[in-house]
């Protein structure tokens, strides 16, 4: 217990400044998205490590490469962010903003203290949860700051993020969701976060296993296996500690103080029809459809871009690679925000 307290204190001392994505508004009249794991019960009028910084997202390429977190990073309160789970919880709570190709989104960033300043950069995973950053996004009206630093604190800033003209969201259970990731360049961070957007001017994708084009190289697979073997004993011990009486009580006590509530939504039962009977398994994935070939090219480019952006994940199969189970809690703290937009319809203009 004492060692655990010292370890947590060490983590907190490393990252002592933050910026939080409070909202992202796309098409007018649609619900606003909120940064994954951002909790509306956290105070916004203070700068201290606890509670003021606890739901800020830290997104470090070194931690992504080391198999510690997914491409959306972690918070000090909840640990690794499970992108797929966070997205589905947001969809269930009707807390995903709507966008089209070219939409100008207003993203509200709360600067907790000095290291939460600008400039912020944003990028996009068009598959939502494959860990492939497909392209960078244009950001204007940025948060003031140099190298993530300024003298501002406890202040909200609105930045403008433009969706690309060739936007093609294919992710989540709806088949038309993208993940947007924004972060600054603070040495103590980078700080920022991820949020989901739902595209309205695209046909929803219905996936089939033989048309999924994400792939890893042999080198990346072997490196991942080595990393997993190093991580496993520590991860098992941490999981056992989290399941102990003290761990469960601590987690329950934290949730009691926060707004931990998730709106559940039953998933449909589906049967897919795959037309590759009689095709050699080694060839099937390369010969199924012209769409698969086209997306394979796009995914390869996206993967290379991910490396170029320094994400360090280096593989399109990111959600399997990045240990989504590492989150200390599965609750989406902000999911209790239920927007009065269940019957939202896109404006005719």
Nearest residue to 263 (alpha-carbon basis) of 334, 159, 344: 334
pLDDT in tens, 96-120: 999 999 999 999 999 999 999 999 9
pLDDT of residue 262: 64
Nearest residue to 193 (alpha-carbon basis) of 48, 59, 308, 52: 59
Low-confidence ranges of the chain (pLDDT < 70): 1-17, 247-349
Beta strands in 141-257 (DSSP E): 155-162, 177-183, 191-199
Nearest residue to 136 (alpha-carbon basis) of 149, 120, 157: 120
pLDDT of residue 253: 62
Contact 91, 266 (CB under 8 A): no
pLDDT of residue 8: 43
DSSP run (H or E) holding 35: none
pLDDT of residue 240: 83
pLDDT of residue 328: 41
pLDDT of residue 3: 41
pTM over 0.75: no
pLDDT of residue 251: 61
pLDDT in tens, 236-270: 888 888 777 776 666 666 665 565 566 666 655 45
């Amino acid at each position: 217990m004492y060692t655990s307290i010292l370890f947590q204190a060490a983590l907190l001392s490393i990252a002592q400044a933050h910026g939080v994505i409070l909202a992202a508004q796309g098409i007018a009249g649609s619900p606003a998205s909120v940064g994954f794991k951002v909790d509306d019960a956290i105070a916004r009028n203070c700068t201290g490590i606890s509670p003021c910084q606890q739901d800020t997202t830290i997104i470090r390429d070194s931690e992504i490469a080391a198999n510690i977190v997914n491409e959306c990073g972690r918070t000090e309160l909840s640990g690794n962010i499970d992108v797929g789970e966070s997205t589905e919880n947001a969809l269930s709570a009707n807390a995903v903003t709507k966008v089209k190709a070219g939409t100008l989104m207003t993203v509200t960033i709360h600067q907790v203290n000095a290291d939460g300043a600008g400039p912020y950069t944003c990028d996009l995973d068009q598959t939502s949860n494959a860990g492939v950053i497909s392209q960078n996004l244009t950001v204007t009206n940025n948060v003031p700051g140099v190298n993530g630093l300024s003298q501002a604190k406890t202040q909200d800033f609105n930045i403008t993020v433009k969706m690309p003209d060739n936007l093609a969201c294919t992710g989540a259970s709806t088949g038309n969701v993208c993940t947007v990731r924004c972060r600054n360049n603070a040495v103590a961070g980078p700080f920022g976060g991820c949020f989901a957007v739902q595209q309205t001017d695209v046909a929803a994708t219905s996936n089939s296993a033989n048309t999924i084009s994400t792939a890893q190289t042999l080198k990346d697979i072997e490196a991942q296996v080595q990393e997993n073997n190093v991580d496993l004993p520590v991860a098992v011990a941490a999981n056992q500690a989290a399941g102990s009486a003290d761990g469960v009580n601590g987690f329950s006590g934290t949730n009691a103080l926060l707004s931990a509530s998730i709106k559940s939504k039953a998933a449909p039962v589906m049967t897919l029809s795959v037309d590759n009977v009689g095709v050699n398994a080694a060839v099937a994935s390369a010969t199924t459809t012209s769409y698969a070939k086209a997306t394979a090219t796009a995914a390869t480019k996206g993967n290379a871009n991910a490396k170029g952006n320094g994400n360090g994940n280096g593989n399109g199969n990111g959600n399997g690679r990045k240990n989504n189970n590492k989150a200390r809690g599965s609750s989406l703290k902000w999911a209790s925000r239920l927007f009065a937009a269940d019957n939202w319809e896109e404006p005719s203009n």
